Amino acid sequence: MFQERGARLKDFYLVTGRYDAVAVAEAPDDTTVAKLALTIASRGNTRTETLRAFTEEEYRSIVADLPKPDTK
């Protein structure tokens, strides 16, 4: 399913705590991720939570455009 949409399942972990599993995927855009999550959740036996991760370079670009704090 991931490959059909141009995405890739990079890692899959079974975890303890609030969630049973964590999947790390890479997709060409956020719309593709949303479609994958909705397709998986529509089966009725899974809930999904999507977290957008940023590389350090992307994060630095984001924070570079923030207004500087007022130091008064």
What is the pLDDT, as a whole number, of residue 50?
Answer: 87
Q: Is 50 left (phi over 0), alpha (psi -120 to 50) or beta?
A: beta
Residue spans per domain, the chain: 3-64
Asked whether the beta carbons of 23 and 8 are under 8 A apart, the reply is no
| Measured distance CA(54)–CA(6) in Å, rounded | 19
Q: What are the tens digits of pLDDT across the range 33-69?
A: 999 999 989 998 888 888 888 999 999 999 998 988 8
What is the pLDDT, as a whole number, of residue 68?
Answer: 85
